[in-house]
Each structure stands twice: as structure tokens, then as C-alpha cells.
């Protein structure tokens, strides 16, 4: 099928834009049924990518909603990047990390949390260390010392061999 460039009108700004033959081929390959409704600039604004325009001015990114609330677990005041839903718990960053990754790594990451959270983190870290503990000998075993000294005395007793003179001649 042969495609020809077509001029379309943007649904947002009303400006004309070109729907190229290459773009039409792409749409046909992907089996898209509808033609594009927005020019590239309006599409970028809508996507919130903040791309620069041809004139050099950048588009404004979408603003992020932040809500102040109290953590359901520890009670401290926190801000969250969403509007809380009624009946669902809202956690501060520290409590969220502890819930998401209940390990020593999360415990170490939350050491800057208020007192109760720090105590929870220390307890989790202590438990993880207790599970990983390996009993190591305090001193060096005397058998190992004797074997090492014997090996050293044997290597000192062995004469070094002189390089052979026939190899160079």
C-alpha cells in the first residue's frame, strides 16, 4: 500500500500538522485504526515529558500532588505523593520500607527514624546478626602453628638449584 503525507488538524491547539507517510506505515504495521489527533508538541505536553519546543522554550511538567497526613504505624506527621483513600493505612517512608523489606537492610535504612522506629530497626538488625553468627576460634590452634613452622624449616633446609650453564650456550 502506498502512503502519502497528509495534513491533519490538532484537537488541542487547532494547528495543522503533517501525518507523514512513514508515520502512516507505522500506524498500519501496528494495526492502529485511528489517525493521530494531536501534533507532536501537544502530545509531548499531554505526556508531561517536558520536552523542549523548536523555539527552545520547555514545556511545563505536570505538578505532583503531595498530602500532609499522620503515619498509621508510628503516628508522626509525614507527606505522601498521593491523596490518601478513606479506610486505607498511610505509612511514612520509614514504616513503608520496614513493611516492604522486613530485613536487616531495611532496619539499617531506617536508623534516622524517631525513637520507636529506631528501636524496631535495632531489634531487627540484632535478630539478623544472631541468625548469621558463626563460632570462630579465638586463638590460632597450636597444631596449625607447629605445621607452619615445620614447613618453613623444610623450605629453608632445601638448597636452591643453580641455573644450568648449558641453557645459554
Please say if the pLDDT value at position 93 is more than 80: yes
Residue 169 vs residue 81, higher pLDDT: 81
| Cα angle 57-63-64, degrees, rounded to a multiple of 5 | 145
**Taking a C-beta distance cutoff of 8 angstroms, is the pair 69, 90 a contact?**
yes
Looking at residue 143, its pLDDT comes to 75
pLDDT of residue 115: 57
pTM: 0.30
Crossing angle for the helix pair 93-100 and 115-132, nearest 10 degrees?
A: 20
Inform me whether the pLDDT recorded for 55 exceeds 60. no
Look at residue 17 in the predicted model and tell me its pLDDT.
93
Q: What is the mean pLDDT of the chain?
A: 76
E strand or H helix at 78: strand 77-80
Average pLDDT on 14-18 reads: 93
- The residue-averaged pLDDT of 75-98 equals 86
- pLDDT digit string (tens) for 131-167? 776 454 556 667 777 787 787 777 666 665 555 555 5
Domain residue spans of the chain: 6-47, 67-132
How far is Cα of residue 70 from the mean position of the Cα atoms in its chain? 26
Amino acid at each position: 500500500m502506498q502512503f502519502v503525507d497528509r495534513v491533519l488538524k490538532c484537537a488541542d491547539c487547532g494547528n495543522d500538522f503533517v501525518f507523514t507517510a512513514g508515520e502512516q506505515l507505522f500506524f498500519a504495521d501496528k494495526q492502529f485504526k485511528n489517525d493521530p489527533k494531536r501534533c507532536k508538541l501537544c502530545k509531548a505536553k499531554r505526556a508531561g515529558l517536558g520536552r523542549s519546543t523548536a523555539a527552545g522554550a520547555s514545556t511545563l511538567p505536570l505538578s505532583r500532588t503531595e498530602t500532609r497526613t499522620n503515619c498509621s504505624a508510628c503516628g508522626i506527621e509525614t507527606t505522601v505523593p498521593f491523596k490518601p483513600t478513606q479506610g486505607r493505612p498511610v505509612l511514612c517512608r520509614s514504616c513503608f520500607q520496614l513493611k516492604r523489606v522486613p530485613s536487616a537492610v531495611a532496619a539499617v535504612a531506617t536508623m534516622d527514624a524517631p525513637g520507636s522506629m529506631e528501636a524496631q530497626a535495632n531489634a531487627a538488625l540484632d535478630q539478623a546478626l544472631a541468625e548469621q553468627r558463626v563460632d570462630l576460634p579465638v586463638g590460632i590452634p597450636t597444631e596449625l602453628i607447629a605445621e607452619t613452622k615445620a614447613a618453613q624449616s623444610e623450605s629453608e633446609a632445601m638448597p636452591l638449584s643453580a641455573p644450568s650453564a648449558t641453557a645459554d650456550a
